[in-house]
Amino acid sequence: MIWNKRGAGPLVIVLLAIIAALVIVWVSGLVQRECSKDTDCPQDYYCGSDFQCHEQKIIDRTVVHNYNLLGASIVIGIALIICALILKSRRIQHILGL
Protein backbone atom coordinates (compact mmCIF):
# COMPACT_ATOMS: atom_id res chain seq x y z
CA MET A 1 0.00 0.00 0.00
CA ILE A 2 1.12 3.60 -0.61
CA TRP A 3 1.07 4.55 3.10
CA ASN A 4 3.94 2.15 3.85
CA LYS A 5 6.29 3.82 1.33
CA ARG A 6 8.93 6.40 2.16
CA GLY A 7 7.45 9.18 -0.02
CA ALA A 8 4.01 9.00 1.58
CA GLY A 9 4.76 11.65 4.24
CA PRO A 10 4.62 14.69 1.91
CA LEU A 11 1.48 13.31 0.22
CA VAL A 12 -0.29 13.00 3.57
CA ILE A 13 0.76 16.53 4.54
CA VAL A 14 -0.57 17.94 1.23
CA LEU A 15 -3.88 16.08 1.61
CA LEU A 16 -4.30 17.31 5.20
CA ALA A 17 -3.53 20.89 4.10
CA ILE A 18 -6.19 20.69 1.36
CA ILE A 19 -8.77 19.29 3.78
CA ALA A 20 -7.94 22.00 6.35
CA ALA A 21 -8.29 24.72 3.70
CA LEU A 22 -11.69 23.37 2.63
CA VAL A 23 -12.91 23.28 6.25
CA ILE A 24 -11.71 26.87 6.83
CA VAL A 25 -13.50 28.11 3.68
CA TRP A 26 -16.69 26.29 4.68
CA VAL A 27 -16.65 27.65 8.25
CA SER A 28 -15.92 31.20 7.08
CA GLY A 29 -18.92 30.95 4.74
CA LEU A 30 -21.13 29.99 7.69
CA VAL A 31 -19.77 32.84 9.83
CA GLN A 32 -20.45 35.49 7.17
CA ARG A 33 -24.16 34.63 6.94
CA GLU A 34 -26.46 37.25 8.38
CA CYS A 35 -29.33 34.77 8.63
CA SER A 36 -30.20 31.16 7.93
CA LYS A 37 -33.99 31.37 8.27
CA ASP A 38 -36.67 34.06 8.42
CA THR A 39 -36.80 34.04 12.22
CA ASP A 40 -33.18 35.26 12.35
CA CYS A 41 -34.28 38.58 10.77
CA PRO A 42 -36.25 41.44 12.38
CA GLN A 43 -39.98 41.76 11.93
CA ASP A 44 -41.13 42.65 8.36
CA TYR A 45 -37.85 41.23 6.96
CA TYR A 46 -37.12 37.89 5.34
CA CYS A 47 -33.95 35.84 4.81
CA GLY A 48 -32.99 35.80 1.14
CA SER A 49 -31.08 33.17 -0.81
CA ASP A 50 -27.93 35.27 -0.31
CA PHE A 51 -28.35 34.75 3.48
CA GLN A 52 -28.99 38.47 4.03
CA CYS A 53 -32.08 40.04 5.63
CA HIS A 54 -34.25 41.92 3.13
CA GLU A 55 -37.24 44.17 3.77
CA GLN A 56 -40.55 42.74 2.61
CA LYS A 57 -42.10 44.79 -0.17
CA ILE A 58 -45.70 45.69 0.56
CA ILE A 59 -47.76 45.61 -2.60
CA ASP A 60 -50.64 48.08 -2.78
CA ARG A 61 -53.85 46.30 -2.11
CA THR A 62 -56.69 46.84 -4.54
CA VAL A 63 -60.17 47.41 -3.26
CA VAL A 64 -62.77 45.14 -4.79
CA HIS A 65 -66.06 46.90 -5.42
CA ASN A 66 -69.23 44.87 -5.26
CA TYR A 67 -71.31 46.26 -8.08
CA ASN A 68 -74.99 45.47 -8.41
CA LEU A 69 -75.28 43.87 -11.83
CA LEU A 70 -78.93 42.83 -11.55
CA GLY A 71 -80.14 45.59 -13.89
CA ALA A 72 -77.58 44.75 -16.58
CA SER A 73 -78.44 41.05 -16.40
CA ILE A 74 -82.16 41.82 -16.78
CA VAL A 75 -81.47 43.96 -19.90
CA ILE A 76 -79.32 41.23 -21.45
CA GLY A 77 -81.95 38.57 -20.64
CA ILE A 78 -84.73 40.61 -22.27
CA ALA A 79 -82.52 41.19 -25.33
CA LEU A 80 -81.90 37.45 -25.65
CA ILE A 81 -85.61 36.69 -25.44
CA ILE A 82 -86.38 39.32 -28.13
CA CYS A 83 -83.66 37.85 -30.40
CA ALA A 84 -85.09 34.36 -29.93
CA LEU A 85 -88.60 35.58 -30.79
CA ILE A 86 -87.35 37.37 -33.92
CA LEU A 87 -85.47 34.30 -35.10
CA LYS A 88 -88.47 32.08 -34.35
CA SER A 89 -90.89 34.33 -36.26
CA ARG A 90 -88.55 34.44 -39.29
CA ARG A 91 -88.26 30.65 -39.25
CA ILE A 92 -92.05 30.30 -39.12
CA GLN A 93 -92.41 32.81 -41.97
CA HIS A 94 -89.82 30.90 -43.99
CA ILE A 95 -91.60 27.57 -43.37
CA LEU A 96 -94.99 29.02 -44.34
CA GLY A 97 -93.51 30.73 -47.37
CA LEU A 98 -94.51 34.24 -46.32
pLDDT for 71 equals 93
Contacts of 11 (CB under 8 A, 6+ apart): 2
Question: Are the C-beta atoms of residues 46 and 53 closer than 8 Å to each other?
Answer: yes
pLDDT band at 56; cut points 50, 70, 90: confident
pLDDT band at 18; cut points 50, 70, 90: very high
pTM of the complete model beyond 0.85: no
Q: What percent of the chain has pLDDT over 90?
A: 19
Question: Are the C-beta atoms of residues 53 and 34 closer than 8 Å to each other?
Answer: yes
Domain range for residue 58?
2-96
Number of domains in the chain: 1
Q: Considering the chain, what is the average pLDDT of its residues? A: 82
pLDDT tens digits, one per residue of 27-45: 877 667 778 888 888 888 9
